[in-house]
Amino acid sequence: MLEQTSGVDEAGVVRWELFLILLLAWVLIYFCIFKGVKSTGKVVYFTALFPYVILIALLINNAQLPGAIDGIKFFIVPEWDKLLSVEVWVNAAAQIFNSIGIGFGSLMAMSSYNSFNNNVLKDTLTISILNSVTSILAGFVIFSAFGYMSHLQGIPISDLAVDGPGLVYIVYPQAFANMPVSQLWAVMFFFMLLCLGLDSEVVNRTFAMVEVMVTSLMDEFHQQLMTFFKRKELFVLAICGAACLLGIPLVMQVGIYVFQLMDHYTAIVSIMFLAFFEVILIFSIIQFKPARYEDYVFPPWAQGVGWVIAMGSIIWIPLGAVHTLWVLPGSFMQVTH
């Protein structure tokens, strides 16, 4: 389906089927958020709750399949020696940061709409607990399917456990092909992914990230933007249109490599730097591994592009500090009495 090229240095052509899906995704995003955060909240009632229905239904179905118990045991029985690996802790932290939305600015953008007396502690605990419970529930669903696939293929579960897009779009659909009423489960599963794509861990990646851009620019340049666009809905349309155009490289034949490169350098490098700046940055650099897609290792120039992508968010920390020190009155050489 991807018709992927042999590497990131071979762009290929646009996959028009995927481009139309990209366009449809941004149309859905626009109509979900163009009226502001209130309309976003209404959409989330469905997109955030429906996946739970599908996950529970899939778990009930998967638990009845042969080998499912072995997969669940593989999931819940810990390998204690892994706790000694710093990489495991870094990846676990990156997963939590991405799933909750820490460091992206989306939480601050959304919280700015809260009432002044809103109970932030209650919201924080609720979201954190629900996020962890959801991750555990999804783990039972995924690994029960892994156990079933291991039973069918006669290979260890550890050889099936992969990460990245291969898990969702390659390994798991193989499990559907052998399930009763496979077409129904496949449709339900990918419809759930659509909901998660719109919602993405409580509107972090789509609604909220667009809202971050809209809110930031509107707060800073409201008069100029309204003079040009006249209405906020048109400004949101321009943001969504620009984001759609920026997504075109991802729907080319080179797209899977572009995705893996961006995901590696933003989901792990940038976010860990931004959020764990004072605690774990050092460990991230010591344990850093270059991006790769399956057996393909990105060439040095592509790794350099990845670092440029990562620095796009990292560089603002030192620049902000230097700017603040520059514009504030006083001097390092000035002695106070």
Annotated ligand binding at 261? The verdict is: no
Annotated ligand binding at 313? The verdict is: no
pLDDT at 287: 57
DSSP code, position 290: -
In the numeric block, which tokens belong to residue 294?
């399956």
**What does the alpha-carbon distance between residue 120 and residue 126 come to, in Å, rounded to a whole number?**
10
pLDDT at 233: 84
DSSP, collapsed to helix, strand or coil, labels residue 87 as helix
Low-confidence ranges of the chain (pLDDT < 50): 200-204, 278, 337
Annotated ligand binding at 131? The verdict is: yes
**What does the alpha-carbon distance between residue 98 and residue 116 come to, in Å, rounded to a whole number?**
27
Annotated ligand binding at 99? The verdict is: yes
pLDDT at 278: 47
pLDDT at 328: 78
pLDDT at 144: 86
Annotated ligand binding at 295? The verdict is: no
In the numeric block, which tokens belong to residue 288?
């850093």
pLDDT at 231: 85
